[in-house]
Chain A
């Protein structure tokens, strides 16, 4: 059973000055009896959300509205400053466009290693299924990721992360990098999760995309949920 429960959660980001990031400077200041603490920016401001099996929510809002921070709280990457986060179930996060992979390794070796990270045994069949899903040319299979474009890597990571069927899948501004053809394929896979009691949350600037794959859309502004929209007839759902 999967669950994400955020109870009145606050997240404050430390914003340290260059002096506060310096060990020597901090040490000297302490010895002089001075102590300066980094200031904070409130990224998430009193948010409560409860996601139960089958939940598919979209997070929509301008840059800096707190979409990524909220996803990182849900993933347990950031601990809340105040409030409580409960999470049950195997969770996979695809956040940021930073590439969570070793680009020196081949596609094949990355698949094997990343599956192990997810706690899944990389059987030959699974590795093959993942590669097929990417629809990339076979000649890239044993090439290092240095030869891959960003879109190609996104296809690969999406395929790796969704193949073992995570109980909780969290995605950031993400499908925007791959081409239309792959987006529809990805959407189809995400919709297929509905019956499997998983939780899915995605952040995007693209309201049209969110309406296509989500049941509910939360509108964020300044770290607060300002509006909620229930998508009438979620496609395929």
Chain B
């Protein structure tokens, strides 16, 4: 009834998989709609914005495609985790299944959906950026930090959103602002203005750059990786603290 951490993780992926299966059950292409959607969006926005920013398509498209995919993953995971417990209230309150399962499932579901959209940036990076497997290996530690931070923050937000009913709307607004101030649509190199150094106060910059720079530009910075790992560890610490309160959460659902 109160499974350990690993059992909860395993169950959450099963839940995520069955949710995706049922979500796309009535569509012909199934979850590959996600791939198509991603390709269409990246092509449209990419063709438009490389002209706006006056950079080459090869410079812009792979960067934008992969940044957008990971941003959508981050943002959807956080938003969906804040609905996870209220949507599964009977499972937690009446059946006594661990809240962990449903919080992790929001993460798992988005990992699986993002995996379907992954071919789009993967092809663009391989073709236009000329990245090799070596780049990918250098990007791995940064990717792990990114995933750990996303999972940990979504866990904390999922619990807080049960206690405070207006919390989700607050985070929604914050995420909209974060999308603008994080280099997703634009690259810092587009703007040679020193006053914009303020963007480096945004922790999301390091969580993205730690894997994106080695992957696309072949640039590996120990400082960026160390910062992103430190951020991920802080998030993990917050999640461990929050998990101590998780036993009390059913009473608030």
**Residues on A close to B: CB < 8 A?**
13-14, 21-24, 26, 72, 75-79, 90-96, 98-100, 102, 104-105, 109, 113, 116-117, 119, 144, 172
Contact partner of B164 (CB less than 8 A), chosen from A22, A72, A117, A119, is A22
Our pick among B1, B22, B101 for the contact of A104 (Cβ within 8 Å) is B22
Contact with A along B160-186 (1 / 0, CB 8 A): 100111110010000000000000000
- Whole-angstrom distance between the Cβ of A59 and the nearest chain B Cβ: 16
Say yes or no: B251 contacts A13, CB within 8 Å.
yes
A105 CA / B19 CA spacing, docked (Å): 8
Partner of A117, one of B25, B95, B170, B252: B95
Cβ distance B166 to chain A, nearest Cβ, rounded Å: 5
Stretch of B84-92, B125-133, B144-152 at the chain-chain interface: B84-92
Write 8 A-B pairs (CB below 8 A) sorted by A numbering.
A78-B251, A79-B248, A91-B1, A92-B1, A93-B1, A93-B94, A99-B90, A102-B19
Say yes or no for B14: interface residue by CB 8 A criterion: yes
Known: A77-B93, A93-B96. A23 touches B166 (CB 8 A): yes
Contacts A113-B18, A117-B11 hold; do A91 and B166 have CB atoms under 8 A apart?
Answer: no
Which among A98, A105, A119 has the highest number of chain B CB atoms within 10 Å?
A98
With contacts A22-B165, A94-B95 taken as known, whether A105 is within 8 angstroms of B248 at the C-beta atoms is no
Nearest residue, chain A, Cβ from B14 = A116
Q: How far is the CA of A102 from the CA of B19 in the complex (A)?
A: 8
How far apart sit A93 and B248, CA to CA, in the bound complex (Å)?
18
Would A105 and B93 count as touching, CB distance under 8 A?
no
Closest partner residue, chain A, to B90 (CB atom): A98
**A23-B170, A79-B247 known; A100+B94 contact, CB < 8 A:** yes
Partner of A94, one of B94, B97, B164, B251: B94
List B14-50 residues whose CB lies under 8 Å from chain A.
14-15, 18-19, 22-23, 25
In the docked arrangement, what's the CA distance between A75 and B23, Å? 32
Known: A26-B164, A76-B2, A96-B90. 17 other contacts (CB 8 A): A22-B165, A23-B166, A72-B250, A76-B96, A77-B250, A79-B248, A90-B1, A93-B1, A95-B96, A100-B90, A102-B18, A104-B22, A104-B23, A109-B18, A109-B22, A113-B14, A144-B22
User: What does the 1/0 interface line of B122-145 toward A look like (CB < 8 Å)?
Assistant: 000000000000000000000000
Q: How far is the CB of A88 from chain B (nearest CB, A)?
A: 11
Q: Decide yes or no whether B3 CB sits under 8 A from chain A.
A: yes
Select from chain B the residue with minimum beta-carbon distance to A97: B94
Are B250 and A21 interface neighbours, CB within 8 A? no
Write the chain B residue with the least CB distance to A109: B18
Q: Which size class do B's interface residues fall under?
A: 20 to 34
Contact partner of B251 among A14, A24, A100, A116, CB < 8 A?
A: A14
For B170, the chain A residues whose CB sits under 8 A away are 23-24
Question: For A76, what are the chain B residues with a Cβ–Cβ distance below 8 Å?
Answer: 1-2, 96
List A contacts of B3 (CB < 8 A).
119
Q: How far is the CA of A152 from the CA of B151 in the complex (A)?
A: 37
A residues within 8 A CB of B164?
A: 21-23, 26
Query: A5 → chain B, closest Cβ, in Å?
Result: 16
B96 A75 Cβ-Cβ under 8 A:
yes
Residues of B within 8 A of A72 (CB): 93, 96, 250
Q: Are A21 and B165 in contact (CB under 8 A)?
A: yes
In the complex, which residue of chain B has the Cβ closest to the Cβ of A99?
B90
Say which residue of A24, A90, A100 sits within 8 Å of B97 (CB atoms). A100
Contact: A93 with B95, CB < 8 Å? yes
Which A residue sits closest to B252, measured CB to CB?
Answer: A14
Which residue in chain B gives the minimum CB-CB distance to A20? B164
- A24 → chain B, closest Cβ, in Å? 6
Docked CA distance A104–B22 (Å): 6
Central interface residue in B3, B19, B94, by most chain A CB within 10 Å: B94
For A100, give its contact among B1, B2, B91 (CB under 8 Å).
B91
Alpha-carbon separation in the docked complex, A113 to B101 (Å): 12
CB contacts (< 8 Å) of A23 on chain B: these are 160, 164, 166-167, 170
Contact B251–A98 (Cβ < 8 Å): no
The CA of A78 and the CA of B251, in the complex, are separated in Å by 6
10 residue pairs, one from A and one from B, having the closest CB atoms: A98-B90, A23-B164, A100-B95, A96-B94, A104-B22, A93-B96, A95-B94, A100-B90, A100-B91, A75-B96
- Please determine whether A98 and B166 come into contact, CB atoms closer than 8 angstroms: no
CB within 8 Å for A105 and B15 given contacts A23-B170, A26-B164, A100-B97: no
Closest Cβ of chain A to B151, distance in Å, is 21
